[in-house]
Structure 1
Amino acid sequence: MTSVKVPVNGREGDSSPEEGMDPAVDPGLESAAKGRAKEGMAGLAKGLAIIEAFGASTTRMTVADAARFADLSRPAARRCLLTLVELGYLAHDGKFFMPLPRMLRLGSAYLSTSSLPQIAQPLLVDARDELQESISLAVLDDGYAVFVARAEAVRIVSTGVKLGGRLPAYCSATGRVLLSDLTDDEIRRHLAGVPMKRLTARTLADADAVVAAIGRARADGYSLSNEELEVGMCAMAVPVRGRGGMIEAAVSVSVLSGRVSIETLEQSFLPVLRRVAQRIERAL
């Protein structure tokens, strides 16, 4: 399962009349500054917005793409991209900008300082070896389930997201578990700001249906996603609670529906996931 993003169909070159504007006159920077504290750095925020726009379905982008993703003017987007090229985070072939390995340093800063992925990793490996399927750990970030630890099963056809991948919370088993600590009213307010889309014929993209699915996850202590993100792929997730009892993360497994049935997930896989979650909780 790859990270789900809205693909960019239109591709444009770097040159445009807007790019000839005086760099000092940038409406995008001005508007961003109005909503930011005096101590904030609007330029840094814009560069980070562009970095976050890269993903499995957006492996390269033009100036126009970056401006659209990060809600910037083209001159501001171009300056950010060229700065990232100069610093070694991006490559530029004259039209497209693409991430370089140095980009990994940004994610590794969290992974190397957060105890949660370090605690979970060996336990995920144990569960992977027992189930012979990939096991992941994710946290909630801005409406997405972000995967911070993963034990990958070796298969010809792999399933699930990669480390650092993001899935929309409303239609993923992992996301629904992570949202299940919220009240129904809080969930509805969250969904009001989320562009819910039907990714397959089975995707729940209606607020009432999503709230009900999250309610079931809250009551059952686990969530299932049956071909909602991708045809032929099912996933199950359980919560990991911190010392205060609040959900901090979710442990999940993703499988091919032709290989593992929903019945097997609930009867054989669920006890293993719950055991891993409990072991992580005890170690926190």
Structure 2
Amino acid sequence: MTLLKDPVNGEEGARTPEAGQGEAEKGRAKEGMGGLAKGLAIIEAFGASITRMTVSDAARFADLSRPAARRCLLTLVELGYLAHDGKFFMPLPRMLRLGSAYLSTSSLPQIAQPLLADARDELQESVSLAVLDDGYAVFVARAEAVRIVSTGVKLGGRLPVYCSATGRVLLSDMTEAEIRRHLETVEMRPLTARTRADAESVIEAIQRARTDGYSLSYDELEVGMCAMAVPVRGRTGVIEAAVSVSAFSGRVSVEALEQSFLPVLRRVAQRIERAL
């Protein structure tokens, strides 16, 4: 039995197997590392809406026991990924290394970045590239328009697929049965009065995105915000990413999005596809 010093409360306690750990280990590949999986679950819980967390928060967000969450947090503090003020744990700049590994080795963001910048300059609005990841549209490249108030979406940011134009485009290659199975794993809740948050209306919006070749989101994620997205297809014809533009709905109308913005987004998507 090993003793573990706990910097959170200064107490020393024995490591004991957690409830259900034996069953979990049986179902995991012999080469798998349960501790690493737990730590990554906590890292992934941080985001724009969760900038700090307590031990209890981490246990809830990552679906861990409090002892397991505490050990993971303390390890991340020791490694320089998190700071701890006695109660809250907060990300440190070293956390950026985890995301930069994908951005620096994947050709997709590198190919897209200058093309997104050209589109931004033409539209005078922020233009992004996103991929599908575990129920979210994750932004892997972005050209930000210079404005006093930004639209709030950042590189590495995540948007729920069910109520975002980008997410609907990314799901539009799926069959209805596949979409339903995917939505069953996602918590759908209305973010505004205009949010589509039930399976039938979301599926309808995704199927329309497939037919039209683009998707619109207007005041669904946040009141006053609108977005348009188009697909980027790989060499096999499968959707690999989505190019999107976001703006304040008071400044850009639906007509402007469809008439002026859509041709630009489609041109960018085609240029990315030719380069893949």
Q: What range is the shorter-chain TM-score in?
A: over 0.9
Q: Distance in 2 between matches of 1:177 and 1:32?
A: 36
Pairs aligned (count): 270
Q: Distance in 1 between matches of 2:231 and 2:212?
A: 11
Contact 1:29–1:76, Cα closer than 8 Å, also in 2: no
Contact 1:232–1:258, Cα closer than 8 Å, also in 2: yes
Equivalent in the alignment of 1:190: 182
Contact 2:139–2:156, Cα closer than 8 Å, also in 1: yes
Q: Distance in 2 between matches of 1:51 and 1:31?
A: 24
Tell me by how many angstroms 1:34 deviates: 3.4
AA partner of residue 187 (structure 1): I
1:46-101 Cα shifts (integer Å, max 9, x gaps): 00000000011110000000000111111110010000000000000011000000
Equivalent in the alignment of 1:238: 230
AA partner of residue 162 (structure 1): K
Equivalent position SS for 1:27: coil
AA partner of residue 90 (structure 2): M
Tell me by how many angstroms 1:33 deviates: 2.2
Equivalent in the alignment of 2:19: 27
2:241 pairs with 242, 249, 262, which one?
A: 249
For residues 216-235 of structure 1, the aligned pairs below 5 Å read 216-235=208-227
Q: Distance in 2 between matches of 1:30 and 1:79?
A: 18
Q: Could you tell which deviates more after superposition, 23-32 or 247-256?
A: 23-32
1:13-44 Cα shifts (integer Å, max 9, x gaps): x9999x97632322264454233211100000
Contact 1:173–1:224, Cα closer than 8 Å, also in 2: yes
Q: Distance in 1 between matches of 2:192 and 2:12?
A: 43
Q: Distance in 1 between matches of 2:39 and 2:130?
A: 25
Q: Rate the CA distance shift 1:73–1:218 in 2: closer, same or farther, 3 A.
A: same
Equivalent in the alignment of 1:4: none
1:69 pairs with 47, 61, 76, which one?
A: 61
Equivalent in the alignment of 1:120: 112
1:50 pairs with 42, 54, 66, which one?
A: 42
Q: Distance in 2 between matches of 1:198 and 1:191?
A: 14
Contact 1:28–1:73, Cα closer than 8 Å, also in 2: no
Contact 1:160–1:254, Cα closer than 8 Å, also in 2: no
Equivalent in the alignment of 2:125: 133
| Alignment RMSD | 1.7
Say if 2:204 is the partner of 1:212: yes
Q: Distance in 2 between matches of 1:268 and 1:28?
A: 57
Q: Distance in 2 between matches of 1:91 and 1:160?
A: 24
Contact 2:7–2:74, Cα closer than 8 Å, also in 1: no
Percent identity of equivalent pairs: 84
1:88 pairs with 80, 84, 87, which one?
A: 80
Contact 1:29–1:42, Cα closer than 8 Å, also in 2: no
Contact 1:28–1:76, Cα closer than 8 Å, also in 2: no
1:177-212 Cα shifts (integer Å, max 9, x gaps): 000010011101111121100000000011000000
Tell me, which stretches of 5 or more residues in structure 2 are unaligned?
A: 1-5
Say if 2:252 is the partner of 1:260: yes
Equivalent position SS for 1:37: coil
Contact 1:223–1:236, Cα closer than 8 Å, also in 2: yes
Q: Rate the CA distance shift 1:83–1:180 in 2: closer, same or farther, 3 A.
A: same
Q: What's the TM-score, normalizing by structure 1?
A: 0.92
